[in-house]
Amino acid sequence: MFWTTLIGVLVAAASTGVALGAALGLTGMIILYFFSNGATSLAIDAIWSVFNSFTLSAVPMFILLGEVLLRSGISEKAYSAFSPVFRKIPGGLLHTNIAVCTLFGAVSGSSLSTAAAVGSVAYPEMSKRGYDKDTVVGSLAGGGTLGLLIPPSLSFLIYGALTETSIGRLFAAGIIPGFLVGSMFSIYLLVKCIKNPAIAPRDQSETSFWEILAGFKHIWPLLALIFSVIGTIVAGLATPTEAAGVGVVLAVFISSIWGDLTFRKLIDAIYHSVLLFSAVGFLVLGATILAQSVSILGVPQKILETVALSGLGTYSVLLVVVLFYLVLGCFFDGLSLMIMTLPVVFPLLTGLGFDPIWIGVIITIVIEIGQVTPPVGLNLSVLTALTNNEVSLGRVAVATVPYWIIHLFAILILTMFPILALFLPNLLF
């Protein structure tokens, strides 16, 4: 009866077109009313507890930080600085896409923002130089997903707030896997371009080491900002909220002097930040109510008992969870999916003995795949729009298949060697 009510109400509410947060919250309230003796007041306590969390207050600040930098023109400077580095390597600017997406992921915290910022600069330039358009948008869609894994990550912030897991440890845990995935992207592009040089025309111009080094003087303020924000959190010198607040002030200062941030653009950044956090916050609100109703009824414990009696091994359950996320990722955006499923998935996996920090990294990688799988893959839609429909949504989706396969391979590696995600958190905390 419980599962029928849960799934039935959720599907019925979502099918009406209401916001997902409203559908989740309504489902939770109905469950509390009918299955917990009308204890709907517990939902208010749960909401107050989550939204009064100091950790969650970092989310709007990091969103604003990314929005300010997106509107400052800094992505163009970063792209110009990295372009000469890969000039002689097969693939050329395709590797620049991955490198700049990695760098921008360290300031935006959003997969969508990263793909949009780098793609708006890279696609026109690479199209003009004769690069294969499908390969270009594939690299941008795949590289854009690094925005969720490279700290500061909205995924880690929300995961940490909802599961009461250390944000600093999560940020540290994302560094090695982030560079691992980015490196595998570049290796794939290198092999592909060696096999078919026509994909990426070689640039024959000469660039000395000192010229390359001189190019990086244009992005040192951005690097300083990244290290000041991430470094203070990882070193334990500041909380995520404090670091994000300082980061916003520095970003406005740097973007005004070094970039082309104007007062109008700053207001626009604040406006879009409020819209995005309102959407995320509403999702968190609904998911909190649902989580409270599920927790009171002891559903995670019952699921864990059922799994134990099913005879499935620990890693078989993990495989089922990953497949579950892959399927739902085709229909929900990543953050919505994570918020919606954590009330059940987190206690299930921790109950099986998996480290909470490691779980956060794995879930983040899996929801990254959802960013590049149709029909809802947001990175695909953004890049299709950036190309003015020169590359259709279907072609972008096909071009990104190798990248989500690489993500799956990364999950396998992290499952075999969890120390890759846990080494820095254990070393620094």
Q: Which H/E stretch holds residue 49?
A: helix 41-51
Determine the residue type at 395: R
CA distance 145 to 182: 10
pLDDT score, position 66: 74
Cα-only R_g, the chain: 22
pLDDT score, position 32: 77
CA distance 35 to 5: 10
Tokens coding 108: 């935006």
Which of 111, 58, 65 lies closest to 281 in space, CA to CA? 58
Which is it for the CA torsion 319, 157, 115, 196, positive or negative? negative
pLDDT score, position 414: 94
Task: Give the burial string for 368-396 (b: 16+ CB within 10 Å, else e).
Answer: bbbbbbeebbbbbbbbbebbeeebebebb
Distances (CA, A) of 329 to 86, 362, 373, 374, 380: 33, 14, 7, 9, 13
Helix axes 167-195, 419-428, angle to 10 degrees: 140
| Residue 49: CB atoms within 10 Å | 11
pLDDT score, position 418: 92
pLDDT score, position 303: 66
Residue-wise pLDDT tens digits, 358-397: 999 999 888 888 777 765 566 676 777 777 777 777 787 8
pLDDT score, position 199: 81
- For 308, how many CA atoms within 13 A lie in the half-sphere containing its CB? 11
pLDDT score, position 299: 65
Does the pTM of the predicted model rise above 0.95?
no
pLDDT score, position 149: 81
Peptide bond into 374 cis (omega under 30): no
What single-letter DSSP state applies at residue 179?
A: H
Distances (CA, A) of 211 to 96, 208, 217, 222: 16, 5, 10, 19
Tokens coding 197: 């040089």
pLDDT score, position 268: 87
Determine the residue type at 62: F
CA distance 113 to 119: 10
pLDDT score, position 130: 82
pLDDT score, position 55: 65
End-to-end CA distance of the chain: 45
pLDDT score, position 53: 67
pLDDT score, position 301: 62
pLDDT score, position 308: 62
Task: Give the burial string for 125-152 (b: 16+ CB within 10 Å, else e).
Answer: bbbeeebbbbbbbbbbbbbbbbbbbbbb
Q: Which residues in the chain show pLDDT less than 50? A: none
Phi, psi of 263 (to 5 degrees): -60, -40
CB 158 within 8 A of CB 336: no
pLDDT score, position 67: 78
Task: Give Cα 119 distance to the centre of its chain.
Answer: 17
Residue-wise pLDDT tens digits, 261-280: 788 888 888 888 888 778 77
Tokens coding 20: 């997902």
Determine the residue type at 107: V
